[in-house]
Structures are given as structure tokens and as C-alpha cells.
Amino acid sequence: MIVGEPTKSKLIRLQKGILKLQLVSKGVAAHSGYPHTGKSAIEPLIDVLQDLRKESWPSHPELGDTTMNIGIINGGQAANVVPDYAEASVMFRVISDPKEILERVKQIVGERVQVNPSTMNSPVKLNVVPGFDTDIVCFNTDVPYFNFGEKKGLAFLYGPGDICDAHTPKEHIKIQDLQESISIYKKLAIQLLSSKK
């Protein structure tokens, strides 16, 4: 299987893993003029997020650092109400077993908020073939979710464009790179099919 992602037209030999989770905080709504009659859901969530941001996460000589992104924060209903609910969606790009990172998150969080993991997979070593430039990427793909049966690891990651342009206002792929990728995909497919036994 050849997975297409923006890889600067290089075959990728290693990709980071992922841990996606939701932090949920519950409180008691009250009039903000009398905050002692309620319990803020937002304040403990902010404290937890700050503690996670300050943590020293593992690093790897090739894959680099484990990184954390706070992608979404929701909570409260009005400025004059003590919020009774808050949540945050957090994603880690992991360089090791995501279960270890999840356990560390739970230790840091304690009983302050709920930790609800939704997706996780370890870093993936991908296949490469001679004659192609190779690289390592800090993003994650669908590769871990495919079952190759006995032929595990027969996944290749290649595509035109730069992942650093993805999800930004300048997201694009050059026409020339798209055109060149056609012949490269063809070359890669022929090379893989011819080596099949």
C-alpha cells in the first residue's frame, strides 16, 4: 500500500505515533457574584493543561521530541456564570509507546479532571526502496489502522507537497510537484510489483 501525504516527494522511513484524548471537567453552576456557591469547571482544567505543558516529555534521537497540542477548549455558558462544564481536546505526537504517555498524563491529572483517550498508536517504521530520497516525519497517518496480515509493514508513505503547509492559510501543492509525482508513483509501483515474489 502506498499512502499519499505531503512528504516533499520523499519516501518516509519513520513516522511519529499519536495519542489523542479529551479532558473533561465538571463543576457546579452559580452566579458569578457569589462564586463560593458554585464550583468552576474551567479553573481546574486550566491548571491541568498548564501542568501538562510544563512536563518534560520523552525524546528520540531520530524522531525528536514528544509534542503536545491543545487543539480545542470549550466551557462555560456566560461571563456572569460560574461554569459547570469544560473540556479540552489534546493531541500528543509520540516517539514511544502512547500507553506510557497516557499513564503519565493520568498521574499528572490525578482526580482533577477526567481523562478520556480516543485514539492512539505507536511510531511506525515504514518501508523504503533503493533509488528514492528518504526522510522522517513528525506526523501520523492511517498506516497503523490497516491489517496487512502476514505481510506486515508493506506500507509506503510518499507524496508531493510540504506537510508544514497543511492546515495553514498557505496550504498548497505546486503544479510541477503534482505532475512529477505521477511518474514517481508509477516508478514506485512498477519497482514494487516487479520485486513481488
Position 147 scores a pLDDT of 76
pTM: 0.90
Q: Is CATH 3.30.70.360 what the domain over 17-121 is classified as, yes or no?
A: yes
For residue 154, the SS3 value is coil
Position 196 scores a pLDDT of 59
* pLDDT surpasses 60 at 2: yes
The Cα-based distances of 90 to 57, 93, 165, 178 in angstroms read 14, 10, 21, 33
- Domains of the chain, by residue range, sit at 2-15+124-194, 17-121
Position 192 scores a pLDDT of 85
Residue 154 — very low, low, confident or very high, per pLDDT cuts 50/70/90? Answer: confident
Q: Which residue in 63, 111, 108 sits closest to 90, CA to CA?
A: 108
Residue 72 — very low, low, confident or very high, per pLDDT cuts 50/70/90? Answer: very high
Ranking 80-89, 105-114, 126-135 by mean pLDDT, the lowest is 126-135
- Angle 60-63-67 from CA coordinates, rounded to 5°: 85
Distance separating alpha carbons of residues 37 and 3, to the nearest angstrom: 55
Among positive and negative, which fits the CA dihedral 5, 8, 13, 17? negative
Higher pLDDT, 179 or 148: 179
